[in-house]
Structure 1
Amino acid sequence: MGLQSYLALARKSLLALGMSFLPLSSAWAHVTVHPQEAPAGSYTKLTFRVPHGCDGSPTKRLRVQIPEGFVSVKPMVHPLWNIETVKRPLKTPYESHGKMITETVAEVIWSGGSLPDDLMDEFSIRAKLPDRPGEVIPIPVIQECEKGVHRWIQVAQPGEDPKSLPEPAPLLKLTGGGGGQGHGHGSR
């Protein structure tokens, strides 16, 4: 094999390698939730990964909108960020530790920090998930930057590929057999 043939093959190999990372890079460009699957009815730590700011502008505020059916929601402390929760009444109150629980967290807001556009970070909550195995739940996230905003709220219609959406909501799939993990003590 001559030098020209070798260089052409090397270029093609590098191009193919680079192309293989394209689907991953577009997924990395969106806010995502981890894990992407969790047992229905379980207490689970959900981590929202923010991979960038808004076209060069740093993230200044992150709002995670908590879906119906999530209860016992607690945000995780994040150094240098303030945490605020917005509550809503529960459709069906329940008893916990001898106390009637009549409301739940509707939104968790991290603010007061600054996440540069070229860095990534993670923001976490713990929640008791709905006991609805097989359901895929969108979790809307609003990312507010110094200049601009990303509304990760889009949900694919039946037959539509969620990866085709410019700003898809993070998705959590509820799996079977996981409820009954106690009161969230020592949970995931």
Structure 2
Amino acid sequence: MSINGYQRAAVLAVATGAALLLGTGAASAHVSAKILGEAAEQGSYSKITFRVPNEDDAAGTVKLEVKLPADAPMSSVRPKPIPGWTAQVVKSTLAEPIDSHGTEITEAASSVTWTANRGTRIAPGEFGEFELAVGPLPEVDQLVLPAIQTYEGGKVVAWDEETPEGGEEPERPAPVIALSPASEDGGHDAAPAANEQPADGEVADTTDTAAAADGSDDTARWLGGAGLVVGALGLGFGVGATLRARRSGGDQS
């Protein structure tokens, strides 16, 4: 390729990268929800992270309310403490009770609200992250989680518009999490994610981990013992050889 060809390719790459960055920024400049670092499986316990950008040039964000679906309730919803913010979980009576590991649940969280304490806010040009430990994730294809963002001065922006299937994203889309069917080693009996507290009434199962650790210890002890035996035998052979060599030398003299 000629120098001019390389230059044209470089210009095209830079232009394409800039377009992608601009497009990504425009698409992500709204409240979004993600499950990071693990599969979002039905029936599992996980952590939902809400990312909240501040889109106002003058006012800071001072409150975020997230609405949880009444038709896909979760028996355990726990906000992660955030310095400078107060979290409130509101529960509502379910139209139909749900079963959670043999326990009948008659109420579940319907909304979670984070409110900034005095002197705290998400400043213009910045973003904040709010986390919920939830579970079991319901047996639905996706979780739609409408969010209401409140700014200083009382301005309210509702991110609650659903994206039609196969259609364009609306101006203010609601955060959505796609859920996959439970895997064979996960599902309804899955324990809460690592570093997360178990759900109400649930205790993380550590039996398999302990058994694996015991097996590893037994193997290590066996190998250590075998090593000592082999070492002792080697030492014995070495001493015997030395003694035989000395005797042979003495006979020759």
Query: Which TM-score tier does this pair reach, normalised by the shorter chain?
Result: 0.7 to 0.9
Residues 81 and 9 of structure 1, relative CA distance in 2, 3 Å threshold: same
Residues 98 and 40 of structure 1, relative CA distance in 2, 3 Å threshold: closer
Could you say which residue in structure 2 is the equivalent of 1:160? 167
Equivalent-residue separation in structure 2 for 1:29 and 1:104 (angstroms): 30
User: Which protein is bigger by CA-based radius of gyration?
Assistant: 2
CA RMSD in angstroms, aligned pairs only: 3.0
Q: Which moved more, 1:62-71 or 1:92-101?
A: 92-101
Residues 62 and 176 of structure 1, relative CA distance in 2, 3 Å threshold: same
Aligned letter for 2:126? L
Could you say which residue in structure 2 is the equivalent of 1:137? 143
Equivalent-residue separation in structure 1 for 2:15 and 2:35 (angstroms): 31
Instruction: State the aligned residue count.
Output: 183
Aligned letter for 2:188? G
Shift of 1:79: 0.8
Could you say which residue in structure 1 is the equivalent of 2:45? 43
| Structure with the bigger percentage of strand | 1
1:38-117 to 2 correspondences below 5 Å: 38-68=40-70, 69-94=73-98, 101-112=105-116, 113-117=120-124
Q: Which TM-score applies when normalising by structure 1?
A: 0.81
Q: Give the secondary-structure state (helix, strand or coil) at the position aligned to 1:115.
A: coil
Equivalent-residue separation in structure 2 for 1:32 and 1:116 (angstroms): 18
Residues 80 and 138 of structure 1, relative CA distance in 2, 3 Å threshold: same
Using CA pairs below 8 Å that are at least 6 residues apart, which structure has the higher relative contact order? 1
| Structure with the bigger percentage of helix | 2
Shift of 1:12: 4.7
Shift of 1:7: 7.6
Shift of 1:9: 6.8
Q: Give the secondary-structure state (helix, strand or coil) at the position aligned to 1:38.
A: coil
Contact 2:160-2:174 within 8 A present in 1 as well: yes
